Structure 1
Amino acid sequence: MEAKIEQKLLDQSKEFEEAGEPFLASEYEQAYELVMELFQELVTLLGDEKMSLDEFIILLDSGFEEIEVGFIPEGVDRITIGDMERTRLNQIKTLFFIGVNEGKVPKPAGSGGIFTDYDKEQLSLMKIELSPTAKKNSFIQQFYFYLAMTRASEKLVITYAKNDQVGKMQRPSVYINDLVKLFPTLTIKEEEGDKLNWSDKNSAMNFYIDGLNQAKEGNPSEEWLELFSYYLKNPEKKAQALTLLQAAFGGYKRENLGKELAKKLYGEILSGSVSRLELQSACAYAQFLRYGLELEERAQYSFRQADIGTIFHMAIESVFTKAKEDKLSLGSLSDEERKRLVHDCVEKVVMTYGNRILDDNARNRWLGGRLERITDRTIWALSRQLAQSGFTPSGVEVNFSSEDTRSLLLELDDEMKMQLTGRIDRMDTKEENDKMYVRIVDYKSGSTSFDLVSVYQGLQLQLVFYLDAAMESLEGQHKAIHPGGVLYYNIKEPLVEKTPKMTEEEIRAKLLEQMQMNGLMNVDAGEKEEKQIKNVSERQLNQLKSYVEDTVKKLGNQIASGDIAINPYKKGVKKPCAYCEYQTVCGFDEKISGYKYRNLVSHSAKEIWEELAKREEEEHGNQVDDGSTSSN
């Protein structure tokens, strides 16, 4: 009897192939031949040897286990799913890049690491490679994006979401705008909305909302027009439909509270610090939200970069105050004495700051040690700079208010007034014959430096404005008070590449060079002009002070008049919106009609000084006050 096993297997293979099961079809097609090969090997190996049925079955099972069915691997048509950084793509025809949204692509830099970007840059100079800095990571993300964009041979599709899962608006990645600029003929296609389901009220309203963009572009669908007509005839839906329509077709219109409402909101006397006016200059709406509506982010129990700056200020103040109480000259202390003083002051600050958050975990304790090390280096540098300049500190963390300083109480338009308060990190004085020069120093834990252009544009007013307050506070010294200068000191931990022949004094000189202050100094005060310190005449300092005072008044009048325009500035690539905590409140978007940046015009230092001199001549003619104050 013939079983026709081979034919049956081939028939079964054909059935599997017709059913769309290529792997099973291939397996059945090869099965008969592979079994026959196994039998042939048994014959060759055993010959005429006899064995029991059980032994033969075991032998067959072992042979069957060794049989491998070969398949042709898929390689022509396939879908690979991956991410931009890890997936390596080669020889692909079509690439779908999904979710190119702000905050996703490029991936935002992480936070909370032990080393700052400055630390990493300095360590890289010593051939110690760590994770990339934020700047380097930005370049890496751009490179990955470029690689993804160049992999498809036939078609590239890029998508981004308009809303997240809960309906919150999502913005496209900055890369989308870059692509549109590179390829002006590119068009962004809106996703087609779902089909209208008249029986579902929520579905119908969602369909209506999705179709507003198409209606705005002048090509609404017939279904959308029919639904819109229905809403207009429906008393329950008409108001909502028209409100949504107005929102879609309208744009931002500059608004003003008006003087009366502004007076009720802010009071008859405006109060605050100069930083409030700087915020007004950056964006009037941000000033309104912070100081008018008093919107604040929820406080979190965490240690952030801003906390580091606060602790540095507190520690430096504590060191100078302790030295003054104990009648110590910081410049004459030995390294050991200075380190002991700094250790005691920093420890006191750390143990009392933020519910002892710096003692909360190992990382924060390490940061506490680093804060002490940088504070010690800062005190060393500041004492050296003071010794070289001839100035002496006459106050640290000096507070000013309009109650005791006339220059902080300003008359505004319409009988309004503005009283300002402020704090100066350090006030220095220098006496020469019958003159006393005053300079103020502000400590910065970031990279902020004195920028004359920013002062002229109303974005950096504090130092120059508070110089008048500092001078006024010293009246009654029986000497004419003159402006000495305005300086920033950047708190940092510089590193020097040491060579075998360098002496300890040479190393210190290199460190001190990197820790210079920056700003403006009165040339008559005898301060040596450094790379970052520009000497100007006393007349120029007074011209700048006068300009800043007028700018402060102008900004105060803007607030008092009810100006709440969403008008952020743009200075090259710098925009205040990049770090603004109110982004989700104002909804600023250049793609929406009415929203646009104020492009600030850049000026050279020479142009600014010439403009200030011209302004002085127009206001006072040739009779110019030397700007000094004296006591009668």
Structure 2
Amino acid sequence: MDADTLHITLANTSYKPILAQIFQRYHIPYTLLQDSRSSIIPHRFSALFSYYLKSDTDSLRNVLDCGVFHIEQLQKLKDYLDVFSCDIKEPFDHLQGITEQGHILDTVELTKLQKLEEDAEQVRRQVKELTDPLTQPDSLPALIQTVSTYVRESIAQDGSDTNILLHIETMLKELYPYINKKEDITFFLYFLDDISQSSAPSQRKGVIVSDLRQAPFCREHQFLLGCTQKDYPAFQTKKGIFDENYHAFISTYPTMEQRYQFYLEQISAQLYAAPHIYVSYPLGTYEGKGMEAALEIEEFVRKLLHDPKAKSSPYPLYGSYEPVSTNITLSPAMAEALFVRDGNIHGSISALERYVKCPFSYFLRYGLSLREPMKVGFPDSYAGTLSHYLLETFTEEYGKEYTRVAEEKIEEILMKEITVMQDVFPSLEKKLENVAQRILTSMTQTLSLLDEYEQHSLLSPYQSEKEFHYQIPLNEKVNLALKGYIDRIDTSDEFLCILDYKSSAKTLSQTNVFAALQLQLLTYAIVCSKEFQKRVLGAFYVSLKNENIPYTAGKLSRRKPVTHMPSSKEEYEEVRYKSHRLNGWVMDHEIQALDDNGTHIVGVTQNKEGAVKARKLYELSSIERYFTQMYQLIGNRILNGDIRCMPMEEACMFCSYYEICRFKGIYAEKTQLVEVEDDIYQQAKGSDEDA
């Protein structure tokens, strides 16, 4: 088909942007007979008048976002308001006097905030000078003149269409006699919402695109798109005050049925406007809701199918589509330039886990060094950081007696950190007080649970936040250089174990481990076994969350007479301790040194003879061999430039780069990177289940 022989009629005008994109992409000439689109100019008038009516932070953001002010580094002010949510009437200077950042904000983050404040303060002065005539106008005429001037100046800089500006200024002149007080401005804002920009083509070329309101062109091929029950024939009934019931009393006015039949006759011309007619409708929306063809269209098609002269037939549509995946790769030379420094690929274990989940995300973060958005306020990760710091402080100061720290001491250290955060984010003062109370309660309960564990362990806290470096050769020139911090190492004369604090309950899954999705905990065990030359009893997660515990209030005896037996406090405590057990992998048969009664570690029990044994006993040397293979495989994929955009499903959930890749394909499946044999167990063969 030639573009000059086609005419497309849209029952749903929202298809216009989609068609325009398709035609532009494939360089097909086209003409939109009537292109109606919203304009930024009414929004600028509305934002400025709204700020006059209510001079709050939200109204100011609307003014800054609408583009009416062309100020260098305006984004700095917007970023500052997003972080601190303050008023521009007062200077931005509260961060300049802060020298102590505590242990939640690091020095880099505080320095960034202080630099942002300096830049935002310069912009604030300019914006305040421009907005003062809006918040404190000499008169309503002066306000209207100021708003018109600001919008007109913005148009001169960004080249917007002036027709709508002239239309709005004419409206203001007509309405001016009726604007006598501040509240009257609100009435004018309703008119702005309905203003749109409409344009007609100066010449027609290629495919003609119109809607049901426009007469069809006599071309060889006529397409009628979007003929659903909702959009076709789209007859408009009278609504509002002057509805159909009102018009029924006007004897000379056509009835709704008469108008409907006349309307159908008019748009039916679309169905006979060309020798070849193509009618289509979608089966569903993008949200998955089903849609059906209009009854009028079904009747029209039914008649044609029974008319041998019409020679009508269903249009052949694709029944299925092959998934298309775009493999993005870099040349090895480019990959080396981006990722290798001084003969090493530097990074953390979590960075490599990110690569496994989504290579493209790793490329954006560590190849292009695209920084993720600054954390605003007090996100949940800060609560985890604070809990880590409290436990680190207590174990370093009190050793094995850390679980018996007085609540007053916990509150003292906690509030010192919270006060620093309140100085940085003064608008969050009340919220931070609530956060402090929640962390205090959680930490007190966590310490009471850990106290039970410490009484049955021969090991004592040895180091917290232990920095480690671990190198794995990838080839003759490049190594994989890992760096990180181990939350806690407990030791005795002969043994050690690794404890990793988590903000919620977490299991160490063999499937996830050898799919390279849980590398941290066992890598810590490998590193410590080499450095300390002690027998590693195991590596475990410690949940800092007070889990919700399903617990029955009591039991009913089935024997007559039926009696109720309430649950005891001892039974509740047993269930509570069981739900907060350590979870991980045991690597030495002398596990009773860490849990002498087999009640504090998942998978560890005490038999009738009093011996404490683990259900699974893992071999650390075998794990190290498999981990070396996985790390080398991941490192060589990075060196080969494999940055494909094929994320696993969970990778996109909290990804800051989703707006860049806009991934809409099929998620990658979780697969093991190495074939694992039974040599990962010291004795009892196990199945692929959580420990």
- TM-score (norm: length of structure 2): 0.47
What letter is aligned with 2:581? Answer: Q
CA distance in 1, matches of 2:618, 2:249: 95
Q: Counterpart in 2 of 1:525?
A: 591
Name the SS for the 1:486 alignment partner: strand
Q: Counterpart in 1 of 2:527?
A: 469
- The answer to whether structure 1 residue 579 and structure 2 residue 624 are counterparts is no
1:289 deviates by 0.9
1:312 deviates by 1.6
Please give the residue correspondences for 1:336-355 in structure 2 after superposition, counting only pairs within 5 Å. 337-353=405-421, 355=423
Task: Say if 1:314 and 1:349, in contact at 8 Å, map to a contact too.
Answer: no
- What 5-or-longer segments of structure 1 have no aligned partner? 1-18, 30-73, 79-155, 161-171, 181-185, 188-216, 219-248, 402-407, 476-480, 591-595, 615-632
Q: Counterpart in 2 of 1:370?
A: 438
- The answer to whether structure 1 residue 422 and structure 2 residue 460 are counterparts is no
Q: Counterpart in 1 of 2:462?
A: 394
CA distance in 2, matches of 1:513, 1:302: 35
Query: Identity of counterpart residues, as a percentage?
Result: 21
- The answer to whether structure 1 residue 493 and structure 2 residue 530 are counterparts is no
Q: Counterpart in 2 of 1:460?
A: 518
1:487 deviates by 0.5
Q: Counterpart in 1 of 2:370?
A: 295
Identify if the C-alpha distance between structure 1 residues 466 and 392 changes in structure 2 by more than 3 Å, giving closer, same or farther: same
What letter is aligned with 1:330? Answer: Y
Identify if the C-alpha distance between structure 1 residues 319 and 457 changes in structure 2 by more than 3 Å, giving closer, same or farther: same
Q: Counterpart in 1 of 2:402?
A: 330
What letter is aligned with 1:323? Answer: Y
Q: Counterpart in 2 of 1:265?
A: 338
The equivalent position to 1:589 in structure 2, one of 648, 654, 664, is 664
Name the SS for the 1:413 alignment partner: coil
Q: Counterpart in 1 of 2:473?
A: 411
- What 5-or-longer segments of structure 2 have no aligned partner? 1-241, 261-280, 294-316, 555-564, 605-613, 683-691
Q: Counterpart in 2 of 1:94?
A: none
Name the SS for the 2:492 alignment partner: strand
Identify if the C-alpha distance between structure 1 residues 417 and 21 changes in structure 2 by more than 3 Å, giving closer, same or farther: closer
Q: Counterpart in 2 of 1:85?
A: none
Please give the residue correspondences for 1:437-448 in structure 2 after superposition, counting only pairs within 5 Å. 437-448=495-506
The equivalent position to 1:23 in structure 2, one of 212, 223, 246, is 246
CA distance in 2, matches of 1:21, 1:492: 62
CA distance in 2, matches of 1:558, 1:439: 32
Name the SS for the 1:257 alignment partner: coil
Larger relative CO (CA 8 A, sep 6+): 1 or 2?
2
1:536 deviates by 6.1
How far does the alpha carbon of each residue in 1:165-200 deviate from its partner, in whole angstroms, 9 at most, with x for none?
xxxxxxx33x46xx79xxxxx99xxxxxxxxxxxxx
How far does the alpha carbon of each residue in 1:246-271 deviate from its partner, in whole angstroms, 9 at most, with x for none?
xxx99653232222212211223111
Name the SS for the 2:537 alignment partner: strand
CA distance in 2, matches of 1:588, 1:495: 35
CA distance in 2, matches of 1:392, 1:250: 55
1:512 deviates by 1.9
Please give the residue correspondences for 1:538-549 in structure 2 after superposition, counting only pairs within 5 Å. 540-549=619-628
Identify if the C-alpha distance between structure 1 residues 158 and 314 changes in structure 2 by more than 3 Å, giving closer, same or farther: farther
Identify if the C-alpha distance between structure 1 residues 519 and 599 changes in structure 2 by more than 3 Å, giving closer, same or farther: same
What letter is aligned with 2:441? Answer: R
Please give the residue correspondences for 1:124-203 in structure 2 after superposition, counting only pairs within 5 Å. 160=285, 172-173=286-287, 175=288
Task: Say if 1:350 and 1:356, in contact at 8 Å, map to a contact too.
Answer: no
Name the SS for the 2:497 alignment partner: strand
Task: Say if 2:442 and 2:546, in contact at 8 Å, map to a contact too.
Answer: yes
1:292 deviates by 0.9
1:377 deviates by 1.1
Task: Say if 1:358 and 1:367, in contact at 8 Å, map to a contact too.
Answer: no
Identify if the C-alpha distance between structure 1 residues 353 and 552 changes in structure 2 by more than 3 Å, giving closer, same or farther: farther
Task: Say if 1:524 and 1:538, in contact at 8 Å, map to a contact too.
Answer: no
Task: Say if 2:329 and 2:641, in contact at 8 Å, map to a contact too.
Answer: yes
CA distance in 2, matches of 1:260, 1:558: 13
CA distance in 1, matches of 2:519, 2:585: 13
Identify if the C-alpha distance between structure 1 residues 503 and 250 changes in structure 2 by more than 3 Å, giving closer, same or farther: closer
1:158 deviates by 7.7
Task: Say if 1:358 and 1:364, in contact at 8 Å, map to a contact too.
Answer: no
CA distance in 2, matches of 1:465, 1:385: 24
Task: Say if 2:358 and 2:645, in contact at 8 Å, map to a contact too.
Answer: yes
Task: Say if 1:490 and 1:515, in contact at 8 Å, map to a contact too.
Answer: yes
What letter is aligned with 2:539? Answer: V
Task: Say if 2:326 and 2:645, in contact at 8 Å, map to a contact too.
Answer: no
CA distance in 1, matches of 2:345, 2:625: 21
1:421 deviates by 0.8
- The answer to whether structure 1 residue 255 and structure 2 residue 317 are counterparts is no
How far does the alpha carbon of each residue in 1:258-302 deviate from its partner, in whole angstroms, 9 at most, with x for none?
222122112231111111111111121111111111222321432
Aligned length in residues: 362
Q: Counterpart in 2 of 1:553?
A: 632
Q: Counterpart in 2 of 1:36?
A: none
Identify if the C-alpha distance between structure 1 residues 601 and 550 changes in structure 2 by more than 3 Å, giving closer, same or farther: closer
Task: Say if 1:315 and 1:349, in contact at 8 Å, map to a contact too.
Answer: no
CA distance in 1, matches of 2:458, 2:523: 24
Identify if the C-alpha distance between structure 1 residues 338 and 460 changes in structure 2 by more than 3 Å, giving closer, same or farther: same
Name the SS for the 1:493 alignment partner: coil
The equivalent position to 1:285 in structure 2, one of 347, 353, 360, is 360
What letter is aligned with 1:524? Answer: E
How far does the alpha carbon of each residue in 1:558-614 deviate from its partner, in whole angstroms, 9 at most, with x for none?
212222111223xxxx53223322222123222xxxxx43323589xxx95537579
CA distance in 1, matches of 2:569, 2:243: 81
Task: Say if 2:361 and 2:657, in contact at 8 Å, map to a contact too.
Answer: yes
Identify if the C-alpha distance between structure 1 residues 585 and 495 changes in structure 2 by more than 3 Å, giving closer, same or farther: closer
CA distance in 1, matches of 2:520, 2:412: 31
1:507 deviates by 4.3
CA distance in 2, matches of 1:513, 1:292: 44
The equivalent position to 2:575 in structure 1, one of 510, 530, 535, is 510
1:458 deviates by 0.6
Name the SS for the 2:456 alignment partner: helix
Name the SS for the 1:254 alignment partner: coil
Q: Counterpart in 2 of 1:129?
A: none
Q: Counterpart in 2 of 1:599?
A: 669
Identify if the C-alpha distance between structure 1 residues 350 and 457 changes in structure 2 by more than 3 Å, giving closer, same or farther: same
- TM-score (norm: length of structure 1): 0.51
Identify if the C-alpha distance between structure 1 residues 316 and 28 changes in structure 2 by more than 3 Å, giving closer, same or farther: same
Identify if the C-alpha distance between structure 1 residues 443 and 26 changes in structure 2 by more than 3 Å, giving closer, same or farther: same
Deviates more, 1:528-537 or 1:447-456: 528-537
Identify if the C-alpha distance between structure 1 residues 495 and 273 changes in structure 2 by more than 3 Å, giving closer, same or farther: closer
How far does the alpha carbon of each residue in 1:344-390 deviate from its partner, in whole angstroms, 9 at most, with x for none?
22223323347554982323311210111101111221222122132
How far does the alpha carbon of each residue in 1:69-105 deviate from its partner, in whole angstroms, 9 at most, with x for none?
xxxxx9xx99xxxxxxxxxxxxxxxxxxxxxxxxxxx
Name the SS for the 2:439 alignment partner: helix
Task: Say if 2:498 and 2:538, in contact at 8 Å, map to a contact too.
Answer: yes
Identify if the C-alpha distance between structure 1 residues 369 and 391 changes in structure 2 by more than 3 Å, giving closer, same or farther: same
Q: Counterpart in 2 of 1:194?
A: none
1:338 deviates by 2.7
What letter is aligned with 1:517? Answer: L
